[in-house]
Amino acid sequence: MTTGETMEPIRLVDLEPDLGDFRADVIAGLSKERKTLPCKYLYDELGSKIFDAICEAPDYYPTRTELRIMRDNMREIAELVGPQAVIIEPGSGSGLKTQVLLEGLEEPAAYVPVEISREHLINSANQIAAEHPELEVLPVCADFTQPYDAPEPTREWRRRLVYFPGSTIGNFFRSGAADFLGKARKLMGENGAILIGVDLKKDPKLLKAAYNDSGGVTADFNLNYLRRINNELDADFDLDAFHHEGRHNEEEGRIEMHLVSDRDQSVTIGGERFEFRKGESIWTESSHKYTLEGFAELASGVGLEVELVWTDERRMFSLQYLVAKA
């Protein structure tokens, strides 16, 4: 972009969940016998920034491993996707891996980031638009697990690619993962495809280290959930009375993130009272790990087939290209 050139304003589709939805979900989760909180609310503006820092932590392997897989195989990925694609990215975040994808594809027509954190989305979309002035950027502020329509580009395009990097598919239970893939299949259209990151099963020691990083960034990310509830829902969580734990559940093949109460205590949220025993936890997020065969079976159940898989040399992580079953 040359000096003095003005950039066309970003057109935002704003479907951001309202405060009432947030409060209802928090109250419902903390009212369960086993207390839980939906992981989507981890990503307010501050939470999204902290997660970006997690991605750079030495113990956290997924981001750097997936980036290396993408860079090593970008030419093949670009050949599969073809020119003038519309890239739709649910849960777009900062767009770090998106930059690699957009730079490697042949003349992408449009980019549709879908993100629940409005400010983070606007900042990221503006940055991508500034770095790719030839690209139509159409951000959608929404909970991507709920129904939404992808904006129609004004420019000519040939196919849709649903891009879902990271290990976000692992945040869903199996039924939820199948539901998401089914929605992605409809979103991609008849001649479209899905490019998805899938974290693979591995030594539990590596998993525990990744989700309990030595710098305490993941702990700060998890505890920020309580900070957000305090700030937005008139709550009185004592952040110093909870600590973060990343637990490996061998039977279910997942890592679980928990906030553990360090003492018996009471918390009020907008006038509602909740009791916590010492050692009781709030389950805030899961990250399921897959085998290649297990994920292919999951995709097949919703009418998708894995056309190609790329992995790193240690088979820690995979990037998979899915199309509709013939």
pLDDT digits (tens, 9 = 90+) for 77-132: 999 999 999 999 999 877 789 999 999 999 999 999 999 888 889 999 999 999 99
In this prediction, residue 11 carries a pLDDT of: 79
Q: Using alpha carbons only, give the angle 168, 173, 175 rounded to the nearest 5 degrees.
A: 115
Do 85 and 157 touch, CB atoms closer than 8 A? Answer: yes
In this prediction, residue 254 carries a pLDDT of: 97
In this prediction, residue 15 carries a pLDDT of: 83
- Model confidence at 4, pLDDT cuts 50, 70, 90, reads very low
Mean pLDDT of the chain: 94
Rg for the chain (alpha carbons), in Å? Answer: 20
For residue 267, is pLDDT > 90? yes
**CA atoms of 116 and 92, how far apart (whole Å):** 9
Domains within the chain, CATH numbers bracketed: 61-202+289-324 (3.40.50.150)
Pairing verdict, β 317-324 and 304-311: antiparallel
For residue 307, is pLDDT > 70? yes
**CA atoms of 65 and 78, how far apart (whole Å):** 19
The 10s digit of each residue's pLDDT in 7-52 is 455 778 888 888 999 999 999 999 999 999 999 999 998 998 999 9
For residue 1, is pLDDT > 80? no
In this prediction, residue 6 carries a pLDDT of: 40
Is the Cα torsion angle 60, 61, 64, 70 positive or negative in sign? negative
**CA atoms of 55 and 210, how far apart (whole Å):** 10
In this prediction, residue 2 carries a pLDDT of: 39
Residue 209: in which H helix or E strand, if any? helix 204-211
Predicted structure pTM score: 0.93
Of 86, 135, 133, nearest to 114 by C-alpha is 86
In this prediction, residue 5 carries a pLDDT of: 43
**CA atoms of 21 and 281, how far apart (whole Å):** 23
Of 291, 261, 290, 287, nearest to 276 by C-alpha is 261
In this prediction, residue 8 carries a pLDDT of: 52
The 10s digit of each residue's pLDDT in 218-247 is 999 999 999 999 999 999 999 999 999 999
**How many CB atoms lie under 10 A from the CB of residue 134?**
8
Find the mean pLDDT for residues 174-202. 96
Tell the residue number behind the tokens 């869903």, with chain if given: 172
